[in-house]
Chains A and B, each alone.
Chain A
Amino acid sequence: MSKVRALVGTKKGAFILTSDGKRQKWEVSGPHFAGWEIYHVKGSPADPNRLYASQTSGWFGQIIQRSDDAGKTWIQPGTPPGEPKTTPQGMPKGESNKFVYDTSAETGKPLTTHQWYDGTQHPWEFKRVWHLEPSLDDPNTVYAGVEDAALFRSSDGGKSWHELAGLRGHGTGPRWQPGAGGMCLHTILLDPKNSKRMFVAISAAGAFRTDDGGKTWRPINRGLRSQYIPDPNAEVGHCVHRIALHRSRPNVLFMQKHWDVMRTDDGGDSWREVSGNLPTDFGFVIDVHAHEPETIYVVPIKSDSEHYPLEGKLRVYRSRTGGNEWEALTNGLPQHDCYVNVLRDAMAVDSLDSCGIYFGTTGGQVYASADAGGSWAPIVEHLPAVLSVEVQTLP
């Protein structure tokens, strides 16, 4: 029988939840890396036992962890203790937590500045890894979205990282600015039908696309409208919270923007709003049903100053029409006195025949639905605030 493994990152460690295909009884393992913020844990589609984790701390900086046995043991994929720091040729060896912006003459550009909260220019400063996206076909290749916003790639299992500098250097960087959570690259989508195409999203800059494997990039924000920036239709500066796609139709993207739920059918060349009858179109997460490309999920949040559900009722909204027409899913979710948030990387789906939907809250609950949202139950209830949820469907 199939199994499901949920990888949960929290403010104080990582947790791994496993269940059989019924998804009724769950085993909880953790905390892994107790006391550290785990922004994201994700498994390789090419080798489900290969996991990558972003472990971070305001005190001690960024650590990358890797597991080759589904989270039983972890290593920092770099130089083992006692080994020389350099190769015989004198070159530095891999260092798994070294994220240095590319300023080389060959591939990088002199570090530019980006816009700061007060409108002045501010230098790029690495803070943490928000999101890790393993390659679809190579367990040793993984992408990292970081704050201050940039995209890095490792092709040696996380030992060393190199910036894909064409994104930060393509020209609009000086107009990017931090959102309330910092200036982070939080979403990386790999096109399953075109290995050269990739989408990323940055808060607050917008969405970007490459069609040549990451060398060159361009903004794909036409149609986004953000009232809170000087030019609401600007090329960049939009606070995109999350984008999602269905692997069968990678040209169709769904976006939860700061305000507004959006959709594109042409790979981001143009967007249109599909918020429809949502009670509020502010939110963070958005995801797509594993088998129904027009079925999408969001969790509406009251506003950008009140990061909790409307009326204290935790409701997932589902559209079976690719947006505009939404229904509230409430069965099993708290419908009074609930004031948690659901952060941007904290929703995932499994790919069992009856699609499972999962999301984690800042109150430490992880909710799951084994019937595509029809009914919900908490699979764990008292974790630290949940930062991210990923789900692996296993044979």
Chain B
Amino acid sequence: MIRVVLPTHLRTLARVDREVKLEVKGQVTQRSVLDALEASYPMLRGTIRDHATLQRRPFLRFFACQEDLSLEPPDAPLPEAVGSGTEPFVIIGAIAGG
């Protein structure tokens, strides 16, 4: 199972706790994880990736295993520890403002 950590507002929206667990078929990539997340929680569609372009929204970042993966290609494999469920895939709202 893949573990995904959501920022507070998206947890409220999806009515879930801090972390959700997902079944991901095939290679574990940003795209396949987000596809699985949105399939299970359709209310999150458009909140992480733009509806039309599927690009990451500008004020969100993706982390795993202490690394910022935000700029990695969406079809690049995520670290093995994410695929095995040892480490979560973390979605973070950027700190912005005063």
User: B42 contacts A61, CB within 8 Å?
Assistant: no
The count of residues in chain A whose C-beta lies closer than 8 Å to any C-beta of chain B is: 24
The reply on A320 being an interface residue by CB < 8 A is no
The reply on A264 being an interface residue by CB < 8 A is no
- Contacts A58-B59, A59-B93, A95-B51 given; indicate if A80 touches B9 (C-beta within 8 A): no
The reply on B31 being an interface residue by CB < 8 A is no
Which of chain A's residues have a CB closer than 8 A to the CB of B40? 81-82
- Contacts A82-B40, A85-B39, A95-B45 given; indicate if A59 touches B51 (C-beta within 8 A): no
Return the contact of B41 from the options A61, A81, A99 (Cβ within 8 A).
Answer: A81
- In the complex, what distance in Å separates the CA atom of A125 from the CA atom of B38? 23
User: A81 contacts B9, CB within 8 Å?
Assistant: no
Which of chain A's residues have a CB closer than 8 A to the CB of B7? 59
The reply on B24 being an interface residue by CB < 8 A is no
- In the complex, what distance in Å separates the CA atom of A58 from the CA atom of B96? 10
The reply on B57 being an interface residue by CB < 8 A is yes
- Name the residue on B nearest A34 (C-beta): B12
Return the contact of A80 from the options B42, B46, B52 (Cβ within 8 A).
Answer: B42
- Name the residue on B nearest A78 (C-beta): B42
- In the complex, what distance in Å separates the CA atom of A81 from the CA atom of B14? 9
Return the contact of A83 from the options B8, B14, B42, B96 (Cβ within 8 A).
Answer: B42
The reply on B43 being an interface residue by CB < 8 A is yes
Which of chain B's residues have a CB closer than 8 A to the CB of A172? none
The reply on A282 being an interface residue by CB < 8 A is no
The reply on A35 being an interface residue by CB < 8 A is yes
The reply on A369 being an interface residue by CB < 8 A is no
- Name the residue on A nearest B94 (C-beta): A59
Which of chain A's residues have a CB closer than 8 A to the CB of B94? 59
- Name the residue on A nearest B51 (C-beta): A98
Which of chain B's residues have a CB closer than 8 A to the CB of A126? 52
Say which size band chain B's interface belongs to: 20 to 34
- Name the residue on A nearest B13 (C-beta): A63
- In the complex, what distance in Å separates the CA atom of A110 from the CA atom of B96? 35
Least CB distance, B55 to chain A, in whole angstroms? 12
Which of chain A's residues have a CB closer than 8 A to the CB of B57? 59-61
Bits for B33-58, please: 1 = Cβ < 8 Å to A, else 0: 00000111111011110111000010
- Name the residue on B nearest A33 (C-beta): B12
| B 47-98 contacts with A by CB, 8 A | 47-48, 50-52, 57, 59-60, 93-94, 96
Residues of B within 8 A of A (CB): 7-10, 12-14, 38-43, 45-48, 50-52, 57, 59-60, 93-94, 96
In the complex, given contacts A59-B9, A59-B96, what are 19 additional A-B residue pairs having Cβ atoms less than 8 angstroms apart? Answer: A34-B12, A60-B10, A60-B13, A60-B47, A60-B48, A60-B93, A61-B46, A61-B57, A78-B42, A81-B14, A81-B43, A85-B39, A85-B42, A95-B46, A97-B45, A97-B46, A97-B47, A98-B45, A99-B51
* 13 residue pairs bridging A and B, Cβ less than 8 Å apart: A35-B9, A36-B9, A59-B7, A59-B57, A60-B9, A79-B42, A81-B14, A82-B40, A83-B42, A95-B42, A95-B51, A97-B45, A100-B51
